[in-house]
């Protein structure tokens, strides 16, 4: 029996990515052709040559007049996918830390119809060749992934990998409004409250530019951890009626 190929949108947030955008979009288009995927770029207020470079590629573009944040780009991506009636949307970064060669793997996983979220994990298969994660990023990821699992029974290994596939219709009812890098904390809580099914897909751990910053004061690790945890706890309180009772344990 042949597998029905879902209609898939590949969504890529960019901000001042002139060094990599041509290479990434060329490779994305090549791999997306395997499953006839369309490409959407969310330009989050780039001030370098990125906007003019995007015009060279056969992609749709959402342009923010100013930088609004990673989470806002994710919201735009999901809204576009639902409005345009895509079955799935695959999100990936443009900084060459997500390999376009993995796109067919995400498309194949989406076609299995056994999940609503296919989440990339850089830690589920340590046998994959990859770069060591910066200590503070790995520590914060591990702490918050463990807390999410303990409170929500998610069973995931990587709460912060941005390489994901989302079933568009399943995510359309989520009330997402976090614009910053703490977006995943809101997303995971709401996904659990909505009963969305999650599976993970191993991806390589790649760190290209160790000088990239979070901005907004989040480069200080303890402040970043506190901000992410506060977002998680706030969202748990908002969704408490649809979460396991133990999700609220220890929250004031």
What pLDDT is stored for residue 133 in this prediction? Answer: 86
Averaged over 54-68, what is the pLDDT? 97
Share of the chain above pLDDT 70, in %: 97
Name the average pLDDT for the chain.
94
Domains, the chain, ranges and CATH? 8-248 (3.90.550.10)
* pLDDT level of residue 216 (50, 70, 90 thresholds): confident
pLDDT of residue 241 exceeding 90: yes
What pLDDT is stored for residue 27 in this prediction? Answer: 98
Across 1-10, 78-87, 91-100, 229-238, least confident range: 1-10
Which of helix, strand or coil describes residue 199?
strand
Q: Tens digits of per-residue pLDDT, 121-171? A: 999 988 888 888 889 999 999 999 999 999 999 999 999 999 999 999 999
pLDDT of residue 5 exceeding 80: no
* pLDDT level of residue 3 (50, 70, 90 thresholds): low
Query: What pTM did the predictor assign?
Result: 0.94
- Measure the CA–CA gap between 198 and 118, rounded to whole angstroms: 6
What pLDDT is stored for residue 1 in this prediction? Answer: 42
Measured from the Cβ of residue 232, the count of other Cβ atoms closer than 10 Å reads 24
Q: What is 92-106 written as a DSSP string?
A: --SSSSS-GGGHHHH
Tokens for 235, please give them.
Answer: 């969202």
What pLDDT is stored for residue 208 in this prediction? Answer: 82
pLDDT of residue 2 exceeding 70: no
What pLDDT is stored for residue 235 in this prediction? Answer: 98
Measured from the Cβ of residue 192, the count of other Cβ atoms closer than 10 Å reads 22
CB 21 within 8 A of CB 94: yes
Measured from the Cβ of residue 47, the count of other Cβ atoms closer than 10 Å reads 10
Those residues whose C-beta lies under 8 Å from the C-beta of residue 245, and which sit 6 or more positions away, are none
């Amino acid at each position: 029996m042949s597998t029905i190929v879902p209609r898939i949108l590949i969504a890529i947030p960019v901000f001042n990515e002139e060094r990599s955008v041509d290479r990434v979009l060329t490779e994305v288009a090549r791999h997306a052709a395997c499953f006839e995927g369309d490409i959407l770029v969310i330009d989050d207020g780039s001030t370098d040559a990125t906007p003019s470079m995007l015009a060279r590629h056969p992609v749709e573009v959402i342009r923010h007049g100013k930088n609004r944040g990673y989470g806002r780009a994710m919201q735009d991506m999901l809204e576009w996918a639902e409005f345009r009636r895509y079955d799935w949307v695959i999100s990936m970064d443009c900084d060459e830390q997500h390999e376009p060669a993995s796109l067919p793997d995400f498309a194949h996983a989406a076609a299995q119809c056994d999940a609503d979220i296919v989440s990339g994990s850089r830690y589920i298969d340590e046998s994959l060749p990859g770069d060591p994660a910066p200590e503070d990023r790995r520590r914060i990821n591990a702490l918050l992934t463990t807390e999410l699992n303990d409170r929500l029974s998610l069973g995931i290994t990587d709460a912060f990998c941005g390489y994901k596939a989302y079933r568009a219709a399943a995510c359309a009812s989520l009330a997402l409004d976090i614009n910053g890098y703490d977006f995943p904390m809101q997303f995971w809580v709401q996904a659990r409250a909505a009963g969305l099914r999650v599976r993970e897909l191993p991806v390589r751990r790649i760190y290209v530019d160790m000088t990239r910053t979070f901005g907004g004061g989040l480069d200080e690790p303890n402040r970043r951890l506190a901000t992410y945890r506060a977002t998680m706890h706030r969202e748990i309180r908002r969704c408490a009626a649809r979460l396991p009772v133990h999700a609220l344990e220890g929250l004031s």
